[in-house]
Amino acid sequence: MHRNFTSHLHDAILRTKTPVLVGLDPRAASLPQGLLADPDIASFAEQAKAFETFCRGVIDVVAPLVPAVKPQAAFFEELGPLGMFVLADTILYARERGLIVILDGKRNDIGSTAAAYARAYLGQASPWKADALTVSPYLGDDSLEPFVDVATERGSGVYVLVKTSNPGGKLFQDRLIDGRPLYRHVGDYVESLSVKSAGHTGYGPIGAVVGATYPEQLAELRSAMPRTPLLIPGFGTQGGTARDVAPAFDDEGLGAIVNNSRGIIFAHSRPEYKDKFGDARWQDAVEAATQDMIAELRAETPAGKL
């Protein structure tokens, strides 16, 4: 039996004194000038090389500052096999630098296929070696059980999509079933899974993705899911603020991690950092944006108690 994933994550959060999660979403058109000559005509090989350099550069900056990173698989998959080699390199490099890696792949299927996804991605025994994986719940309980089993066996984590940050999520997630929105039914099931395998932290390894862009529902779900660790997207570029995510934390400042992707990794192009740093000092812009987010969460949420 491996150590509970959430215990590992909480130790990293306490060590760095912040719940900031940095998303690695490399996009050719947004890279700092100098990493890629011309994004419009660059080959897949050239883009892959630039992504590798960029992701390693981001990791070098944030590794001493935050507990975890979240590579978004889609941006690597877009480049085909070469991109997947870079994704593998990014995961391994982040782990070498002491970061927890949550792979944002939103995978799932039924039965043996779900088990194959779980074995492929989760834990040191897997070829991808992710510490945790995002998963879709809408194929039902028999599609989630294999992920729970593998995560428990390998000391890994799973984050189930419950209330996503995108505006269109409400089309299905807010539909009323037996008088309650669908996201509440999903949340209740995820909470039951996490309770079964909760460690000494009080949280289990089966978490929920709940967006910062719906602060009222975030507070509602934290109350309804007290033993479930939360992964919160939507901070920054999508409009979520530190005050919006404050209800996600327990009294000790634990229980949640808050993701920021574009707002950190492409900070060199944001107005508040562009004139000071620009493309030439893009890593300094990444550091400044990370430190600013850390300070915001400390000032406006219970994470200030870490």
3-state secondary structure of 124: coil
127 phi/psi in degrees, rounded to 5: -70, -30
Q: d(Cα 302, Cα 17) in Å, to the nearest integer?
A: 11
2 has a pLDDT exceeding 70 = no
168-171 CB contacts, 8 Å cutoff, 24+ apart: 169/211
> Counting runs of H as helices and runs of E as strands, what totals does the chain give?
13, 10
Residue the block writes with tokens 């428990």? 152
pTM of the model: 0.96
167 has a pLDDT exceeding 60 = yes
The percentage of residues in the chain with a pLDDT greater than 70, rounded to a whole number, is 99
User: 270-286 pLDDT, tens per residue?
Assistant: 999 999 999 999 999 99
| Boundaries of domain holding 103 | 5-305
Give me the pLDDT at residue 125, please.
Answer: 95
137 has a pLDDT exceeding 80 = yes
Q: What is the CATH number for 99?
A: 3.20.20.70
128 has a pLDDT exceeding 90 = yes
Q: d(Cα 244, Cα 240) in Å, to the nearest integer?
A: 6
**CA quadruple 41, 92, 88, 208: dihedral, nearest 10:** -100
Give the catalytic positions in this structure: 106
How many structural domains is the chain composed of? 1
